[in-house]
Amino acid sequence: MTPTMVTLTLVLTILTTALLVEWIARSRHPRRLFFVRLGRDRTEADDARATRLRVANALVTLAGIACVVVPMGELTAVIAVTLCPLISIGWMSVEMVGAVRSAERERVPGRYVVSLEEPPKLRDYVSVPLQLAHVLLVIVPAAVFAWITSRLPAEIPAHYDLSGNVDRYASPHELWSLGGIVLFDLLLLWVIVWAVARERWALPEHDAERYAALQLERRQMIVRSIEWVMLIVNLAMVLVWLAVPLAALPGWEDLLGPAVLVTVVLSTVGAIVPLVVYVPRLMKVRDQLVEIAGTDVLGTRDAGWKWGGMIYYAPDDPALFVPKKVGIGQTLNMARPSAWVFITLVIVVPLAISLGAVALAG
């Protein structure tokens, strides 16, 4: 990798988070701020909060890019790439919490548990072509990688510094960890689809048929956006998985730089595109659900919503997955022990895959 390619990659990494924060902050819905339903008309104070976030995000981003572009040392560039996105996301989180606290509290109008006679099956939520693409993205690269590794030496370049120089060699088998993460992402996708399908069906006393159709549309869009995001992220992971060993073969040395750049674009900018496409549509559906039922979290316990609706903790509610009151998608009922098991598995399994692959390679 050339120094120019490394610099461009780092700049894109910083810019991606900045663009996402900017998109969220500049949303101009008359009754929402940062996609948080305010329960009232938007005020000048709300606009000021959004402007403050946009200015802070721009300044942090410019500072981070300057640390990468201007020669200030490798450590400075690494710190900038690590901290700048965290600062922007952290600032946005603080402003979002402020928006939630300033919102007018909307009570859940009773609990209606009218069940559907024939609730949708798991297959009603997924896209068969996208699911097939996910499976092929696990099987085909694994076969190609196995073929490549049989032609590689015992050790290959495994890490590069910011100048593009190799600073660590390792067994090519260590890269099976990337394949493990791709497989884990596929399994996680199926778990998410299962979770969406398991979300309780609570219908209002009137317009139940239209409400059910809108709920199905909402859940299908959630699944579709996740399918696309996971597919793009896994494609980026596969590019790195195959480019690193290929770059160790004679005549392929120049492949790694462009592959890493494409990977960064895919895993950052590319992964944002599905959100930009589906989030506005999801918000419209949620507005229609609220018009019918008075809330988009029908069936939940009103007292279970903590921190202005950011966390759901309802010991008397047997549901594990419920629709979010703040944000888009689903959240866990943190009163259920299985919720903590789910969170632990999502964090621990990818780490265990990586550590296991390193241990086996060594």
Report the distance separating Cα 361 and Cα 64, nearest Å: 36
Q: Does residue 159 contact residue 196 with C-beta atoms inside 8 Å?
A: no
Q: Which two tokens stand for residue 104?
A: 């007018």
Nearest to 322 by CA among 287, 296, 355: 296
pLDDT in tens, 317-338: 888 888 888 877 888 899 988 8
DSSP 131-151: HHHHHHHHHHHHHHHHHHHTT
When pLDDT is averaged across residues 342-358 and rounded to a whole number, the result is 68
Question: Which of 79-93, 163-177, 246-260: highest mean pLDDT?
Answer: 79-93
Least confident of 80-89, 126-135, 315-324: 315-324
Q: Does residue 236 contact residue 266 with C-beta atoms inside 8 Å?
A: yes
Residue 152 φ/ψ region, left for φ over 0, alpha for ψ in the -120 to 50 degree band, beta for the rest: beta
Q: Does residue 321 contact residue 202 with C-beta atoms inside 8 Å?
A: no
Q: Which two tokens stand for residue 240?
A: 């790195």
Can you give the pLDDT at residue 361? 47
Give the pairing of strands 330-332 and 166-170.
Answer: unpaired
Q: Which two tokens stand for residue 201?
A: 């069906």
| DSSP code of residue 312 | E
Q: Which two tokens stand for residue 32?
A: 């929402």
Domain spans in the chain, listed from the N-terminal domain onward: 1-104, 108-361
Alpha helices of the chain — where are they, by DSSP H?
Answer: 3-25, 44-69, 74-102, 128-149, 176-198, 208-246, 256-265, 271-293, 337-361
Report the distance separating Cα 173 and Cα 61, nearest Å: 37
Report the distance separating Cα 142 and Cα 318, nearest Å: 40
State the pTM of this model. Answer: 0.82
The yes-or-no verdict on residue 359 having pLDDT over 60 is no
Report the distance separating Cα 9 and Cα 75, nearest Å: 16
pLDDT in tens, 222-279: 999 999 999 998 999 899 889 888 888 887 877 877 887 788 788 777 778 888 899 8
Q: Does residue 204 contact residue 295 with C-beta atoms inside 8 Å?
A: no
The pLDDT confidence band at residue 74, using thresholds 50, 70 and 90, is: confident
Helix (H, G, I), strand (E, B) or coil at 159: strand
The yes-or-no verdict on residue 291 having pLDDT over 70 is yes
The yes-or-no verdict on residue 111 having pLDDT over 60 is no
